[in-house]
Structure 1
């Protein structure tokens, strides 16, 4: 596989997990967060990931070193940023939170540096995924940064893939994107698809497509995802797996899509690879992990079924109107 994708992860997190081995504590340190899980799976599938984000303080130094040990290139901004830390105890089987330190947010100067860094590397790579900060740190990164990045990357010829929610997704809608990925739970919570029915979801997808987004992907937990590609609606059907931990499956799906695009797949085939990566990750406890061979086999067994949506309707809005409509989320 050739090519590189840029992953924007504004503030990766240091995760410290305490498990048990032979009756003794077994402590694990990992880099975590949405963008990290995407970059990890992309690397595992043979792609090359450049993770652009903020790294600062002792936690930032450790996170950066851990990422580089995994073969993920780091393009960093320091400044006033300090990365968050999560400490969990899993010795009794569940996840008991021991301590959580939120990140210290970037200054206005740091935000400008992040924008310029992602813009330069994204235009060079040709594909960029915009991921969000960890939930406790969301308020530290303003949605307007995502709007500017989406608009400027798109103007520079970069394919922007957004895996976001709430006002951060709305900001990208206004800026413009190649592919928007959103869950049906988020559309329900935002009252854009109150009942979460397929007709409601499809209407939202067509509205986003009519506003300039090339492709729209809606995940539906254990139900088949819906994809709108070239104006045609598809249902993505994967072999049903026994889940071990569903967390991170959506991020693995995003990574699989990017891996497919990097190797030259057309978007439908890239969606199959993404579905395979997401399905496999749900069978594991490690986020953003999985055998490349197993992912390829699941992708080969994944179907894109064409659905009849002649009765669907959508609104015609420009990007700014779309963003205002999406803020209902």
Structure 2
């Protein structure tokens, strides 16, 4: 079982504009609102792959309907509070293909609520499970909260976060992390312009206790490495509807592959196919298994080490 921790529930609002004019008037072509957030995107992709997954965390009554719609058919353990979840607005410039994100912080969580969450969540987890700690932390949640959970969990833990949250989590030696280039650069304090520099930064994290480091590079593909091997995935040429959520689908594919016992290269192939399938969907939608399976043979994996 995969458990996706969902502490900062989100409505993803994707706004499609022909060409974004900063400081000018923009006419909206289409708006798509979906229940979202990294944990939801990851869970939907895993569900498409027939991987058992449970989303654990919080909802807010004011706009929980969209999130529950996204999670139809998926196991959940969610506490619902008064109020409204944050709205993250994605402005998709269709001419350039660039997405501008405006992300809200979300309601605050108290220390007492977090303790109650742990008392319910932690006893569920078994040694053979995998827990994915993904997304930003809400106000009131300390930056080391993912690190705190890693210490308490008896299973493999995957982390997809950034900034101080990722830095603190790395100190507790999670099983898998998936930074993008910017997140890895921020973590290491280095510019990381070349593949050799990226691999060196990844190996430094392995030396600190991380078991697997996957590095997503957007239109340049992805890298993955552990103590023994390293692979690159070459990018596909696709006409993307939206890039938002592709990284979450990649994490889902990586987790699914590693849980199935695939080697690093094949896990990266599955993650890359899931990410590519997501690119073809509107908004933050995940590709279905038929689309992922169709793309799998097109993903070129090269062994580096």
| Residues 304 and 144 (structure 1), Cα distance of their counterparts in 2 relative to 1, 3 Å cut | same
| Residues 226 and 100 (structure 1), Cα distance of their counterparts in 2 relative to 1, 3 Å cut | closer
> Which residue matches 2:43?
39
| Residues 16 and 184 (structure 1), Cα distance of their counterparts in 2 relative to 1, 3 Å cut | closer
> Which residue matches 1:170?
167
Distance in 2, Cα, partners of 1:266 & 1:194: 29
| Residues 120 and 176 (structure 1), Cα distance of their counterparts in 2 relative to 1, 3 Å cut | farther
Could you tell me whether the CA contact under 8 Å between 2:6 and 2:55 is conserved in 1?
A: yes
Distance in 1, Cα, partners of 2:273 & 2:13: 28
Residue 223 (str. 1) matches residue 220 (str. 2): yes
> Which residue matches 2:246?
249
> Which residue matches 1:148?
148
1:191-244 per-residue CA deviation (whole Å, 9 max, x = no partner) reads 633142222211211111111111111111211211113422211224332322
Residue 74 (str. 1) matches residue 71 (str. 2): no
What root-mean-square deviation, in Å, do the aligned CA atoms of Structure 1 and Structure 2 show? 3.3
> Which residue matches 1:322?
none
> Which residue matches 1:319?
none
| Residues 238 and 297 (structure 1), Cα distance of their counterparts in 2 relative to 1, 3 Å cut | farther
Please list every run of 5 or more consecutive structure 1 residues that lacks an aligned counterpart in the other structure.
Answer: 20-24, 309-329
> Which residue matches 1:320?
none
Could you tell me whether the CA contact under 8 Å between 2:244 and 2:283 is conserved in 1?
A: no
Task: Calculate the TM-score normalised by the size of structure 1.
Answer: 0.76
Residue 112 (str. 1) matches residue 115 (str. 2): yes
Task: Calculate the TM-score normalised by the size of structure 2.
Answer: 0.82
Secondary structure of 1:52's counterpart equals: strand
1:80-103 per-residue CA deviation (whole Å, 9 max, x = no partner) reads 77522457899x999999x98752
Distance in 2, Cα, partners of 1:151 & 1:26: 44
Shift of 1:252: 0.8
